[in-house]
Structure 1
Amino acid sequence: MEMKLLRWATIVLALLIFDQSFTSVGADLIEDTCNKTSNFKFCVSFLRSKPGSATADVQGLAQIVADQIQINLKDTFSEASKLYKEATERVIKECFQICSEMYGVAIDYMNGVLINLKSKNYSNTRDGLSVVYGDADTCEESFHEEPVRPSPLTKNNDDVKNLALIGSEIVLILG
């Protein structure tokens, strides 16, 4: 009985050590990858918060970023469309219309980005991410034209731009 217990304890301990070393390798890959981006802190914070990132390779990290961008685009498109319907002031309504249009285009481009990323067509992936970045920026800038209005979508736009930028930089590592 004691021998069986000792064997099980040894197996469990070995698995824990293996799991810990595997997680450390994943954490190192996240830091190494994010070190090659322009926003290390955002990159590490984002990737560490996502399930599967600790065991992902660089392609997997790019996929995690791309999947989150798609989620953010759809959420922001819905929010901008809702705000457009609720807006009564002409100028702010125009801003939300621009944002809805830009995010609609970005969603279409992101579908291509996801296909290109899976097929390892990294040049087209980066090009698509650049368009997505630009669309989020155009949305935000529409609120800064005269007459200037505060943008309720600033955080959404910043998140999309940050993710698109680090996504593009991670894809650059891939090729």
Structure 2
Amino acid sequence: MAIPKPTLVLSLLALLFSIASLSAHAGVSIRLAGPDIAAICDKSLDRQFCLNYLQSTPGISAADLKGSGLIVLNSARAEASGTESYVKGLLAKAANPKQKEAYKTCLSNYDDAVGNIEAARESMSGGDYNGANIQASAAQENADTCDGGVKGTELSGKNQHLVKVLGIVLIIANRLLGG
């Protein structure tokens, strides 16, 4: 006896719905694909930077959204730590008192930025995406504050790069929050 086509179609749809539902409850996550990267970068202030960054960062294409956020945060932490060391070197060589003061401010800001990025990473790992958003935003503010006294320098370029990377974290955290 043949199964009527409408019954077969409904049965297949019910099976697909069940599989999708089980996957969602089992914690199976969807990987970040090209369209997801484009959707993230469409919300970025510098879309091309975002696309280049996400497409060239190792591990992103194999990670889910949360994993991608953690990868970007790890990269941001390494970048902030490197910039902190860079600022220490600038401070050691600075002769101009005004320049020295700007570097001291930056050093303090980058110390805070590293801590804020680490806190954002812990929040994201624990599923506290709002906390990750707040901490990443604070780290952006740290880099922006440093930038105030060093505009037009190589350090300014490093500050703005970190701000853009952390902007990607903010977008990912917002998507994880459902936005």
Q: Same fold (TM over 0.5)?
A: yes
Matched, 1:123 2:130: yes
**In structure 1, what is the Cα distance between the partners aligned to 2:34 and 2:71?**
15
- How many angstroms does 1:104 deviate by? 0.4
**Unpaired runs of 5+ in structure 2?**
1-31
**Unpaired runs of 5+ in structure 1?**
1-24, 145-149
User: 2:160 maps to which residue?
Assistant: 158
Deviates more, 1:53-62 or 1:72-81: 53-62
- The SS at the match of 1:169 is helix
- Deviation string, structure 1 residues 44-87 (Cα, Å, up to 9, x no partner): 11011011111222112211211111011000000001100111
User: 2:82 maps to which residue?
Assistant: 75
**In structure 1, what is the Cα distance between the partners aligned to 2:62 and 2:35?**
10
- Deviation string, structure 1 residues 129-152 (Cα, Å, up to 9, x no partner): 1110111001010235xxxxx433
Aligned AA for 1:107?
V
1:135-150 mapped onto 2 (5 Å cutoff): 135-143=142-150, 150=152
Between the two proteins, what is the percent identity of the paired residues? 23
Aligned AA for 2:96?
E
**Which contiguous aligned blocks of 4+ residues in structure 1 show a shift greater than 4 angstroms?**
none
User: 1:16 maps to which residue?
Assistant: none
- The SS at the match of 1:142 is coil
Q: CA RMSD in A?
A: 1.7
**In structure 2, what is the Cα distance between the partners aligned to 1:143 and 1:57?**
37
Aligned residue pair count? 147
- How many angstroms does 1:39 deviate by? 2.7
**In structure 2, what is the Cα distance between the partners aligned to 1:154 and 1:79?**
12
**In structure 1, what is the Cα distance between the partners aligned to 2:43 and 2:143?**
23
2:40·2:171 contact (CA, 8 Å) conserved in 1? no
